[in-house]
Amino acid sequence: MVSALYLIAAALAAAFLLGLLKEQWRGAAYAVTLAALAFMIWVSAGWLWAFALEGAAPVEIFTAGAEPPFAINLRMGLAEAALTLLINLTGLLSALYLKDALSRLGRRALAVLLIAIMALCGIVLTRDVFNLFVFFELIVIATGGLVLLSDDDHALAAGFKYLIVSQVISVFLLVGIIFAYHATGTLNIDGMAGASLGLKTGGALAFFLMFIAVVAELKPFPANGWALDIYESAHPAFSAIFSAATGAAALYAVDKLLLIGGADWLPVATGIGLVTFVAANILALPQTNDRRLLGYSSIAQTGLVLAVLGQRDILGDATPYIAFGLLASHAVAKAGLYWLSGLVAGRALADWAALRNRPLLLFAFVTFICMLAGLPPFPGFYAKWELARFLAAEGRLALLALILFGALVEAGYLFRWLGYLIKREAPAAETACTPHQATAVFAAVIAGWALGFVWGDLSGRNNLLLVLPLLFALAFLLLEWLPAWTKNTLAIAGMVGWFVLTWTEYDPLRLIFAVIFLIGGAITLLASYAAHGRRIGFYPSAMLMYAGMAMLIRATDSFDFFAAWELLTVGSYFLILRGKHSEPHALSYILFSLGGAFLILAGFALAAQGAPHFDIASLGQLGQPAQPLAPWIFLLLAIGFMTKTAAIGVHIWLPGAHAEAETDVSPMVSGILLKAGLFGLFLLLMTMGRQRLYGIELTHALLWIAALTALLGNLMAIFQEDAKRLLAYSSIGQMGYALFGLALMNHLGWLMALMFVINHYIYKAMLFLSIGGVAKRTGTREMYRMGGLIRMMPLSFIPVLIGIIAVSGVPPLSGFGGRWIFYNAIMTAELRLPLVVIFLAGPIAFLYLFRLIHTIFLGQLKDEFRRVREAPFWIVLPQMIYVVLLLVFAVVPGLALRHVDAYLNRFFPEGGLGWTGPAITSSYGYWNPIAIMIVVGVIFATLLAWLLFVNRRAQKVRQFNIVFAAERPFRPETTHYAWNFFAPYRKAMGFLVQPFVTRFWETLTDLLHTAGDLARRLYDGNGQSYAFHFLAFVVAVFLLRGGV
Amino acid sequence: MQFEWMKIPYALLTLFIVVNFGMLLGAFIQKIGARVGRRHGIPVWQNHIDLIKNYGLRSSITHGTMFYLGPVFRLSGGVGLLLFVPTIHGSEMFSNLSFAGDLILALYFVFFGALGMALGAGESGHPHAAIGVTRGLSQMSMAELPFALATFSIALQYQTLSITDIVAAQQGGMLNWTLFTNPLAVAAAMLSFLGSMMRPPFDVVLAPQEIPIGPPTEYHSSYLALMQTNRALFPIAKIVIYMNLFFGGAASWPVFFFKVFLIYLWSAFVGVVFPRFRVEQSIRWFLVWAVPLGVLSILLV
Amino acid sequence: MAHLAMATGFLLILVGFYGALTNRNILRMIVAFSIADTGVNIVIVAVGYMRGRSAPILDSTVSAADALARIIDPVPQALVLTAIVIGVGVTALMLAYAYKLYEKKRSLDIAKFTELKW
């Protein structure tokens, strides 16, 4: 093994060599630099290999032939090896990226770069506080030089501000060091720790000064204005080093100092880190400059790692796994993003839409954003899970809540940015990207995925990157060059194949969900044959969603469940984002979903109480410390799942997301995805059952929520002008019914919920496809613009007709079965008032359904649609399949239900249905679907035949046999009878559908934005203010800690 | 279960009796209304005459498939509703096809005709038809609510959803009727009843005399004949449910005729006294007056 | 003596900070930081001072054998040397920056360089 000292020696030697080269030998100088960096990488990689795989012991390196405290010593251990590798890699890739700039500036700039990297390695390796100071000062000087690489001339001012603050910091550091030395007689970190510095006279103050100075290098809030200016103005390749490498080194320095400070100082680190994390994320919200935004995000992430370091008292041996997971995600992603920012011409966030012309770069961006947001399968995800597990076990819930809140805010601006990228107008100019730059970016991408694999491997859980469904979904990334229909066939084959492989494993309940997720998903995919071209991005997203769902139903461990949940969320987010105008809706979807996911995470963490593996089934038998928390766990999980089913209060994402999605995506996200939330609720209620919180039975609260959801969802649906929005609101109402059934907590209630699961899948997928086909042909979703389309699109009309009969619950179709079970279920309900609300909701469905079918298909045909064609074959085909399914399910519901009915006996032995004989019986009534179908069919057919017979000579009246006149007024829709169709209803009941909830969430986000916008004015750009901020920060920490 | 084919002619017989009774009763009620207004009114056989006339009309047009299906849906709804409910208590002959389903089936089948009708009229393309339908649906959605609540209340009361069982439970004296055992539910249901009978003050949906609006305006000849048949049949079918649920049912045809007449008269009685509501007014009226009664009946049962 | 030196050192640090935070002229700020640096150096030396001992130089008057008892702690002195060198480096860098900043805006007022903010 090459001694770690060569890390420093090589850089120094190369820098020295550069001085000897001729000024003109640019190429040679550049080669020397790269060679030195490559050598350093080789050294640290060798050590990492030795420590990680061969189990080598950490090595102390003594200098000057003496041991500490008489000489400086360095240490090379696993952490050091990993960190130096990170630093050197960032250095090399940035150097590659900077090829043009460095060649222009020549050997001096190269030498400064080498010194910077060397000093960063030094910070990581050294065990001597004064040496630490020296390396920090080297960084200051190197940074002062490298900032000037930028083309932005504001960098000059930024660099100077940095120097001002670093002067103040170095005064603190030096004074602290000398007094610490005075108190302990050593400069060695381990020596100081051994001498328990804090107990000596003045030792605590000395430590405080050192600590606060080193913490300041982490750019804590609010003493970080200088860093932001550097992030904004420096060359992005340098910002990459500044964010990834400097941040990592400084964090490790703090970690070392915490050794000296001991347990007393851990809460301080956590406090500073947490405040920084939350504040920087909120401040980032109103940012429009990409690099400054990344700067805020860097600061936030560093703060988070600092907070984690401060929790080492409870994290114990898991600290490196968590801290490194977060740090590595941050470093790789941030470096990658900074490198990408160098390729984008404009500085506004929306200018990044330029990357859309380069799918590979876009993929890189998406990878980085997902890494930063801590989504699976990246290391941040595992780290987040472990962190939550420990924090919840020790009852540090406020901490957990703040971390999750900050993470949500962060996801907010990250995904908003992602939305800009994918949806905003891309500039015509090609994004230039040299091979060097591409190397840097894609090295980061590869590193990100590799780290994901490593973290999965180390997690002691299922490595997500080895799970077959996820691999299948990711494989579509490599198949993007294939035409859409090939990929579609593969996707369908994959889903059906997976179902065939696994279907024997499911119990009847899971089997129903599996059929809907996999077979149902395959049927909706038939509609995707209508798409042409390659449809880049569709299949990876869709298959990611389906993979998540396939994993969800198989998950038994809470981790697997949560990972699957996140995967399906991410997949569906990208799927929804594909809609033409879906940018804001996709954002609100992902935010609500992530918020819900965080609640689920917290719930599982609370339930596990630190146990490394927690079976979902054991939610029912919580251990002692968790038992009193059971209602809270229930609440967290229930709200988390309800964000997916769009219960009232957290429903505002749904209408836009479902309505703006593409034609074949709407049925997937509505018919199938919503069921994932219901599945979660099923599991929750199956395991935890009833819970009481402050005397309130939580299932009763669910009943109320469900009833209100059903009512308001339906009510809002009738006032929509947009057909797909109408269907979307109707889904909210339908999910309300299903939730209601679950919350009834009796046998038939659950059966009814399941009936709604099946029914809603069939008819909502069918309706969305049909309406989607109409919208595709007519180019509008405004219902009043359509009319009379029955003549043009009869095949699309049939599913809508069947669909609305089914949705409204009118016999003889399957919707009635749901209603019948519902009535039987509520016979034993404990609460009766919510029933009233549900009753009120029922008939309202007729109103919007009538509007849907009438305004689109009946009435007068519009001039512009006189030549409209029937929807494409591949969109009609699945609709016809659904029609058949619906009829079959209406006649023989027992096919699916009786097994589940028997299965439910496990939970509620009482109150099942009787399946003997042609009629299905309950203890209250009976229902004979076959007889109903026959009777209605016979009556209907007889009457129709009679009418046809007596009208056999009827003359067909054409549209213009009827006169219609008058001119087109300014707003033509106001004179259309189908516009504001249910005006009297609005007058009577409109007060119920005021957008209170929307206003609530809007106010909340506005408040956050405004807070961020006001607070960021703190950074007034004046270097003196920044220095003052630092002093204020020192005083504040001092006072808040109550002295030292 | 072996299906008894004899049920079919029995059911047809019920149908025949009820249709004729409905037409006569409808005209009779009209006449009562007219007499209150000091007019002479129509002869009681006027509906029969209209029916024959409508079938006799030779002009016959169509706007398309749904135009056909509208009246078919409508009348199927009426016939089905009648046949899914036992007409005469204790009579196997007139228990019709009630083996197919219970109270819930009847409750939901009410909407079958309304929905189909709404669709059929829509295809004529006349906006007034659609406006009439929106009014009807809006009003219906709220008017049906007290009835649904009352139904649920008595289902809870009798612990069954089978209409036959509910009627059976009310036998043995008037005081066993739901009217006396659960007056709140009956009150709520009877207010709801007003809303579904297309009589003042809730008849803006049809607005029969002064505004040519709503589905019937769109139809003529045999289509109209079908709808007219339903117009006679449907109220009776509905009243049968009310009678069975709240007024002890009927054990024989004379009792049946009498009870149906009295219940029908209730809507006529209110109708001649009160002026017409606009749609939003009637929605609010049901919400304020009828729904709380229904809620109370559920809570107190 | 040591206390006096230490007090002077801290006083200089405070003077330096005060100067750096109140003077808007960049050159004056740099001077102020130099003063603060000097203060730090004095503090370091003062910490290492021990009454009645001589400088940590091994020569004819102090032999290696009795050095431990006769000389003051040499480490702070070594640290000061390093600190001075680094201080010079940073000061030089700041001066270079000041020159560049002046070139750019023809002004040395720190409050004029606030384009980057928020």
Structure tokens at A502: 């696994």
**What residue type is A372 in one-letter code?**
L
**What residue type is A594 in one-letter code?**
L
The residue of chain B nearest to residue A828, with distances taken between CA atoms, is B156
Q: Tokens 């087109």 identify what position? A: A968
Model confidence at A997, in pLDDT bands (50, 70, 90)?
confident
- The residue extents of the domains of chain C are 2-54+63-112
**CA nearest neighbour of A2 among A65, A76, A53:** A76
Q: Note the pLDDT tens digit of each residue in A309-328.
A: 999 999 988 999 999 999 99
**Are 3 or more Cβ–Cβ pairs between B and A shorter than 8 Å?**
yes
**How many domains, in total, are found in chain A?**
3
pLDDT at position B212, please? Answer: 52
Q: Note the pLDDT tens digit of each residue in A66-101.
A: 787 788 889 999 999 999 999 999 999 999 999 888
Residues 851-880 of chain A with CB under 8 A from chain B are 851, 853-855, 857-860
The interaxial angle of helices B7-36 and B46-56, nearest 10 deg, is 110
Indicate the residue of C37, C48, C104 with minimum beta-carbon distance to A156. Answer: C104
Q: Note the pLDDT tens digit of each residue in A908-947.
A: 888 888 888 778 888 888 888 888 899 999 999 999 998 8
Torsion of the alpha carbons at A627, A631, A636 and A640, rounded to the nearest 10: 110
Distance between CA atoms of residues A921 and A913, nearest Å:
6
Q: Are A570 and A473 in contact (CB under 8 A)?
A: no
CB neighbour list of residue B182: distance below 8 Å, 6 or more residues apart: B153, B154, B157, B297, B301
Torsion of the alpha carbons at A784, A785, A788 and A793, rounded to the nearest 10: -120
Q: Do strands A73-76 and A59-62 pair parallel, antiparallel, or not at all (unpaired)?
A: antiparallel
Average pLDDT over residues A21-37: 89
**CA nearest neighbour of A245 among A156, A357, A338:** A338
Pick from A247-251, A496-500, B137-141: least confident? B137-141
Question: What Cα–Cα distance (Å) separates residue A664 from each residue in A487, A525, A573, A676, A773?
Answer: 15, 7, 15, 18, 9
Helical H runs in A621-722? Answer: 630-645, 654-660, 665-667, 674-688, 698-718
pLDDT at position A969, please? Answer: 53
**CA nearest neighbour of B121 among B212, B226, B214, B220:** B214
Average pLDDT over residues A962-971: 51
Distance between CA atoms of residues A461 and A551, nearest Å:
14
Counting one residue from A and one from C, how many pairs have CB atoms under 8 Å apart? 119
Model confidence at B246, in pLDDT bands (50, 70, 90)?
very high
Q: Tokens 């109150």 identify what position? A: A911
Q: Note the pLDDT tens digit of each residue in B22-53.
A: 999 999 998 998 998 899 989 999 999 999 99
Q: How many CA atoms lie within 13 A of B291 on its CB side?
A: 19
**What residue type is A476 in one-letter code?**
F
Distance between CA atoms of residues A626 and A638, nearest Å:
17
Dihedral class, residue A194 (left if φ above 0, else alpha if ψ from -120 to 50, else beta): alpha
Over the Cα atoms of chain A, what is R_g?
32
How many CB atoms are closer than 10 A to CB A110? 25
Domain boundary among A943, A967, A986: A943
Q: Tokens 């059906």 identify what position? A: A496
Question: What residues of A are in contact with residue C6 (Cβ under 8 Å)?
Answer: none
Indicate the residue of C13, C98, C116 with minimum beta-carbon distance to A1021. Answer: C116
Q: Is residue A195 part of a domain?
A: yes
> Is pLDDT of B261 > 80?
yes
**Interchain CB distance below 8 Å, A179 and C47:** yes
Q: Are residues A444 and A482 in the same domain?
A: no
**Interchain CB distance below 8 Å, C93 and A144:** yes
**CA nearest neighbour of A138 among A292, A298, A6, A12:** A12
CA triple B191-B195-B199, angle to 5 deg: 115
Dihedral class, residue A736 (left if φ above 0, else alpha if ψ from -120 to 50, else beta): alpha
Q: Are A116 and A241 in contact (CB under 8 A)?
A: yes
**Interchain CB distance below 8 Å, C33 and A156:** no
Distance between CA atoms of residues A530 and A278, nearest Å:
46
Please give the DSSP secondary-structure letter assigned to residue A745: -
Strand ranges inside A825-968, DSSP E:
920-921, 926-927, 955-956
Q: Note the pLDDT tens digit of each residue in A701-715.
A: 999 999 999 999 999
Q: Note the pLDDT tens digit of each residue in A727-768.
A: 999 999 999 999 999 999 989 999 999 989 999 999 999 999
Structure tokens at A483: 């035409």
pLDDT at position A966, please? Answer: 42
> Is pLDDT of A977 > 90?
no
pLDDT at position A292, please? Answer: 93
Average pLDDT over residues A159-167: 92
Residues 980-999 of chain A with CB under 8 A from chain B are 981-982, 984-985, 987-989
Q: Are residues A75 and A157 in the same domain?
A: no
Dihedral class, residue C116 (left if φ above 0, else alpha if ψ from -120 to 50, else beta): beta
Model confidence at A963, in pLDDT bands (50, 70, 90)?
very low
Q: Note the pLDDT tens digit of each residue in C77-100.
A: 888 999 999 999 999 999 999 999
| DSSP characters over C39-85 | HHHHHHHHHH--TT-B-S--SSSS-TTTHHHHBPPHHHHHHHHHHHH
Model confidence at A961, in pLDDT bands (50, 70, 90)?
low
Q: Is residue A996 part of a domain?
A: no
Model confidence at A960, in pLDDT bands (50, 70, 90)?
low
Distance between CA atoms of residues A305 and A291, nearest Å:
21
Q: Is A936 an interface residue toward B (CB < 8 Å)?
A: yes
* Preferred mutation among B57, B95, B105, B154 to probe A, highest tally of A CBs within 10 A: B105
Average pLDDT over residues A10-18: 92
Pick from A154-163, A468-477, B196-205, C40-49: least confident? B196-205
Q: Note the pLDDT tens digit of each residue in C48-80.
A: 877 777 777 777 777 777 777 777 788 888 889
Question: What residues of A are in contact with residue C16 (Cβ under 8 Å)?
Answer: 171
Average pLDDT over residues A627-650: 91
Q: Is residue A983 part of a domain?
A: no
Distance between CA atoms of residues A383 and A325, nearest Å:
5
Q: Are residues A670 and A761 in the same domain?
A: yes
Model confidence at B207, in pLDDT bands (50, 70, 90)?
low
Q: Is A170 an interface residue toward C (CB < 8 Å)?
A: yes
> Is pLDDT of A149 > 50?
yes
Average pLDDT over residues A873-886: 93
Q: Are residues A748 and A873 in the same domain?
A: yes
- What percent of chain A has pLDDT above 90? 55
- What percent of chain A has pLDDT above 70? 98
**What residue type is A427 in one-letter code?**
P
**CA nearest neighbour of A556 among A461, A436, A459:** A461
Q: Note the pLDDT tens digit of each residue in A507-565.
A: 989 999 999 999 999 999 999 999 888 888 899 999 999 999 999 999 999 999 999 99
* Burial letters A385-418, b for 16+ CB under 10 A, else e: bbbbbbbbbbebeebbebbbbbbbbbbbbbbbbb
pLDDT at position A964, please? Answer: 47
Question: What Cα–Cα distance (Å) separates residue A911 from each residue in A3, A861, B293?
Answer: 75, 51, 30
Q: Are residues A448 and A526 in the same domain?
A: no
Q: Are A544 and A366 in contact (CB under 8 A)?
A: no
Residue A92 sits in which domain range? 1-127
Backbone angles phi and psi of A650, in degrees to 5: -120, 35
Q: Are residues A259 and A343 in the same domain?
A: yes
Q: Determine whether domain C2-54+63-112 maps to CATH 1.10.287.3510.
A: yes
The residue of chain C nearest to residue A148, with distances taken between CA atoms, is C97
Q: Tokens 């065939």 identify what position? A: A500
Helical H runs in chain B? Answer: 7-36, 46-56, 65-83, 103-123, 127-158, 163-169, 178-181, 183-196, 215-218, 221-246, 253-273, 279-285, 291-300
Q: Are residues A208 and A321 in the same domain?
A: yes
pLDDT at position A972, please? Answer: 67
Domain boundary among A466, A485, A512: A466
**Interchain CB distance below 8 Å, C113 and A1020:** no
**Interchain CB distance below 8 Å, C75 and A181:** yes
Structure tokens at A439: 């190397």
Q: Note the pLDDT tens digit of each residue in A238-268.
A: 999 999 999 999 999 999 999 888 888 999 9
Average pLDDT over residues C28-36: 93
Q: Do strands A955-956 and B61-62 pair parallel, antiparallel, or not at all (unpaired)?
A: parallel
Q: How many CA atoms lie within 13 A of A418 on its CB side?
A: 29
pLDDT at position A814, please? Answer: 85
Average pLDDT, whole number, for chain A? 89
C-alpha A158, offset from chain centre: 34
pLDDT at position B213, please? Answer: 56
Indicate the residue of A816, A859, A954 with minimum beta-carbon distance to B130. Answer: A859
Backbone angles phi and psi of A558, in degrees to 5: -65, -30
**CA nearest neighbour of A777 among A762, A802, A794:** A794
**Interchain CB distance below 8 Å, A924 and B140:** no
Q: Are A920 and A926 in contact (CB under 8 A)?
A: yes
